[in-house]
Structure formats: C-alpha cells, structure tokens
Structure 1
Amino acid sequence: MRPFTLKQLRYFVVAGELSSVTQAARKLHVSQPSISAAIHQIEEATGLQLFVRHHAQGLSLTPTGRQLLTRARQLLRDAEGLEKFAASLGEEVGGELRLVAFPTFAPLFLPQLLRQFADRHPAVSLYCDEMTQVDIVNGLQQGDYELAFTYDLEIPDDIAFIPLYRFPAYAVVAEDHPLSEKDRIGLAELATYPMVLLDWPLSREYFLSIFSHHQLLPHVAHRAKSMDMLRGLLANGFGFSLFNTPMSAFNAADNARLKALALEDDAQPLTMGLACLRGLRLSPAADAMRQLAQEIDTITDVFGASSAVTSRT
C-alpha cells in the first residue's frame, strides 16, 4: 500500500463536504488536479471507491467514503491538536473541541461549564452548537462533533452515553390557569385541558408517551417550535404543557407567570448526559471536558443535587 498524507486527507475531506472538486480547490486555494490526484491516491492506497462521479454535477460520497470521511475528520483534528499542543510548549491540553447540546438545558449550565473549561485549558478552541436529538445523533455519527450534551432519547448502539442528571416530567400552567391552585395533578385531569406541545422530533413523542402509557390522549391545541414560544403561550393562557428541565433555572420574564405542578402518575424521567461515538478515542480536550462535566459540583448549582445521577457507566 502506498501511503497517503494528511494533506491528501484534507483535500478528500473538503471535497466530500462540498461534493465538488472545483469548490474544494477554490476553498483550499489549490489546483483542481491536486484535489483529484489526492482522492485518486487515497482510493489507490485503500482499494476503496470514495466517490461516485456525476458528469458536470460534482461528486457524491459512497457509503464507504462517508465512513472514511468521518474518521478522516477526527484524524485531522487530532493532528491539529498535536500541532497546537507542540506549539504551546507545556500547555496540558490544546487543539479544537466541537460540542453540541440539546437546546432546552444548554443555556442553563453550558456557558458556566465552558467558562470553567476555558479557564483550565486556555489553549483549546471551543465551538458549541445547539440542536435537537435527531441532528445531534447525526452530527456525532458524521464526525461533526466529538461530544454532545443530550438526553437518553433513542440513543443508537453506535453512540456511547454517560448519564449525568435525571429530570422527571412535570406540568406547567399559567398562574391564572384553573389548575394553578393545585400543587399536584393527575394525568387524567390534566388531559381534559388544552395542551401546548413542544413540537421537536423525539421530544413530542416523549411527552405524548407519558399520557399514552396511561391510555390517555391529550388534546394538543397548540404546537411550539421553541422554548420561548412555548413559555409565552403558557403564560398567556393557551393551555398546559409538560417540562422536564427544572423551570426555576429559566430566566425568561414569562416564568414569573408560570407555575409547576408535580405529576401524581408515574412518568418516565429523561436523563441528561454526555454522548460520543462509541469506540472513538477522545482527544485530550474532549476527555478533559468529560472529566469536568462529571465533577457534579460544577453544575448542581443549576439543576440541584437531587437530580444528579450517582452511578455511571
């Protein structure tokens, strides 16, 4: 096998991301033959077909090409991290760390966690996005992110999950809602009122399953695509909703007009934790973030010690 270089891998990754030799050459400021030669060299070395060539329509990755692209991205990030580590001459951790988090709880604790991490490891370049569960899983599988803070919602077998916090579901109504005088509510009574549903993939299925588990079907009167819209609809009397992230941690003004009601019926809690591609060797930066996140004291101020998961796998 003739070896291929990191530069050739870089050319392959950019061409795969852009589905075009021409655009890759333009982005990397090299000639188109250089990109084509790099792809050819990697295909020759591995014996794999990485792309399907479409006349005048660019390239599309083959299934094996997509798998190699995921690993190549990680290898390039490791190499960049090694370069930054060597340049730092003594910094414990360096390189780039790309994170993604679920939007309901990310604003509540992640900025504090990132601040602590940056203070400990100033040589690391941090990038963090917010996405719903389906996109988070896809981002991990495609190598766009090394770590994710997310829920244990339909985690596939190729994703490893470290539980951190367990959040029970509860009902939320406006302070002038007919149910606001209660502190606890049964699902059967709750289902007689209009529901405002957080309409995100998997999230909506989870909240509806709490009712279906008890052979109940709520009347979904409104659907919200953001937490701000959800809280606004609740505060203005459009119905009840189910939350699981602690409401006391939100800072939105409408929270002053909302009340939480404990559920009297059993409801499967969600567990928030760290996820990464199974079998992937974490970079030093990612491993340092994992260790920091597992120091429970760093985020119990937001979520409370009672929700911490004490046994981890």
Structure 2
Amino acid sequence: MVRFTLRQLTYLTETARQGGIAQAARQLNVSAAAIASALDKLEAATGLTLFDRFPAQGMRLTRAGETFATQAEALLAQADALDRQAADLVSGGAGRIHIGTHHALAQRIVLPAVLAFRESHPGVRIEVKEADYPALVDSLDAGEVDALVVFDQGEDSRRHESEILLELPPLVLLSASHALAVKSRISLSELTGLPYVAVSPAGPGPSYLQLLQAAGVHPEVPFQSQSRELVQAYVGKGFGFTLAGFPPKQDRTIEGDTIVARPLKENIGHYRVVIARSRQVVQTGLIDRFLEMCRLSSSTSGTTGVQGSVIL
C-alpha cells in the first residue's frame, strides 16, 4: 500500500528546490503550516529523515532525502504525463483503437478510414486485425477488438448491435474485349454458357457463385484462386467472368489487361456489410469518431450505401 501522496511529494521537491518551507509555500501559494505538516507525515510514513534543518539558514536534503527526492521527481513527472494523457483520451487526442475486418473490407473501407482518422488524431494508435468471421466474433466477445467491419453472417442480437454500412449486389467482371463489355447492364441469360472464375475458398456467407446458381445459372468453373488479383487476371485474359461486390480499384489487371464491371439486370441477392459492436462494452467517443470515418469511406467506395441502423 502506498503510504504517501503526490501532494506530499510535490511539497517535498519544492521545499528542496527553494531551500525552505516559507519559500516553497510562497511558490506553491499554500500555507507554510500545510507544507510543514505534509513533510512531517511523509517522514513518519517513510521512516526517513528527509531534511537537515538549520535555524535561520533554511533546510537541506539529507543523503537519504536526496535519493528519495530524485525518485519523487521521476514519479511526479510520470503522474503529470499520465494526467496529460488522460486529458488527451477525453478529448480524443490519444488512445488506442482495435478494429476487426475482412481483407476486402480492410482495403475498401477500413484503410481509407485509418488514413483519414490519423490526419485529425495523430496521437491515436489504430490496430486492424484481419481474420475469418468466427475468429473476429470471438475477438469481439473477448474484448480484443472494439468493433467489427464485416460481411454480415447474422450477429447474435443478444450480444451484438449491428449497423448496416453497405449492401453489395454482384457486379459482373469481364475482359474489356468481351462482347458483353459494351453493355451497360448484363442479364443472367447472357451469362449462360460462359465459364466462371471463382475465388476459392469462398468468402463469408453464400458466395456470389452460389447466388448465381440459385438463380438458375450453373457455369463451368475451370479456374479458381485464393487471390482476387489472379482471379481478375484470368478474367482479363478472357478465360471467363466473375462476380464481385466492389468494382476493381484499377481497370487493368496485374497482367496489364483491361477489365470492366457491369451490374446485373436481375436481383439475385447481395452481401451486406455491417459494423458490429458488443453490447457488454461501454463504447467511447473515440471509437464513435473512427466508425464515422468508416461510414464516410463506405459512402465513397464505389457502391450504394444503406443509411441508418438496424438491430440484427
């Protein structure tokens, strides 16, 4: 148990600097009696004689007092830094944010939010964790992340509060040289018989290929890749088409071929992107401000956003 206070340490160090209680009292704008009482209690608590007292000549630290005062100065400096940090936390000038997300959403929503947030909050440390959905939910429940930006897979409303950020209907990605690339919208009937290039393993929830199959289109799948960049490269070479939630960042693949994104005429379903937060954790203003950046970046991600909140 700590047997002394920061106020007592302040009186000790100022008395040592000023060479006497009266001088320290004037500097600190407190009574000399208050300082004398505090020093007496400090010596009693520590069992140390901190000052040699010389009538009419002031006070001087003993050797033990010098060692103790040096440590007291360091402790007071740490306390001052902690006080400033607490003020920064209240104002949002410092702190730490942990966000869980998926790879595609990290690139499209979370990274732009991080870059924008750091401009206005340079003292805040932001950590982003990418993982599969079950691992992210475990991290949220364990308090390891503050919020998730994820593809919706049906959060537990008893534990989580979710807000819809985006609904992503599939876009058809094609080689720019494909005959369908000149169309503004593509129908399911026009995709019949065309090979499909799949991302494997599929992402969370039903894949776009499964949505396509449920709509009655069952394409051959000659190419699969875990890399979205390689999937787009296959498409760019004319090996087939694929479906994606986001338009490509660039219209050229890693092989230098041009690809285009076209919406489907029919509604075959969509992916939903949500912000998920734990009901068990008190949310801070700092997290709220970062998530607002996520909302803003989602509104400029090249897709149609859905405004408002929903409890899932």
Range class of TM-score, shorter chain: 0.5 to 0.7
Identical columns (%): 17
Give the corresponding residue for 2:283. Answer: 282
Report if aligned partners of 1:97, 1:286 keep a CA contact under 8 Å in 2. yes
Change (3 A) 1:200 1:246: same
Post-superposition CA distance 1:266-295 (Å, at most 9, x none): 12122323122233222443233223334x
Report if aligned partners of 1:85, 1:95 keep a CA contact under 8 Å in 2. no
Q: Which has the larger radius of gyration?
A: 2
Post-superposition CA distance 1:249-276 (Å, at most 9, x none): 4476458611122212212122323122
Post-superposition CA distance 1:64-122 (Å, at most 9, x none): xxxxxxxxxxxxxxxxxxx9874425311233211122212322343331122223333
Matched position secondary structure for 2:300: helix
Give the corresponding residue for 1:235. Answer: 236
Question: Structure 1-normalised TM-score?
Answer: 0.62
Distance 2:217 2:273 in 1: 26
Give the corresponding residue for 2:116. Answer: 116
Report if aligned partners of 2:298, 2:305 keep a CA contact under 8 Å in 1. no
Q: What amino acid is aligned across from residue 181 of structure 2 in structure 1? A: S
Give the corresponding residue for 1:7. Answer: none
Distance 1:89 1:279 in 2: 23
Change (3 A) 1:283 1:135: same
Give the corresponding residue for 1:88. Answer: 85
Q: Give the paired residue count.
A: 226
Distance 2:266 2:81 in 1: 53
Q: Does 1:245 align with 2:246?
A: yes
Give the corresponding residue for 1:9. Answer: none
Flag structure 2 segments of 5+ consecutive residues without an equivalent: 1-79
- Report how far residue 196 of structure 1 moved: 0.8
Give the corresponding residue for 1:38. Answer: none
Give the corresponding residue for 2:21. Answer: none
Report if aligned partners of 2:162, 2:309 keep a CA contact under 8 Å in 1. no
Q: What amino acid is aligned across from residue 155 of structure 1 in structure 2? A: E
Distance 2:140 2:82 in 1: 24
RMSD: 2.9
- Report how far residue 202 of structure 1 moved: 4.2
Distance 1:85 1:122 in 2: 18
Which of 249-258 and 211-220 deviates more?
249-258
Post-superposition CA distance 1:219-246 (Å, at most 9, x none): 2222221221221121122211001113
Change (3 A) 1:167 1:256: farther
Report if aligned partners of 2:233, 2:257 keep a CA contact under 8 Å in 1. no
Distance 2:116 2:185 in 1: 37
Question: Structure 2-normalised TM-score?
Answer: 0.62
Flag structure 1 segments of 5+ consecutive residues without an equivalent: 1-82
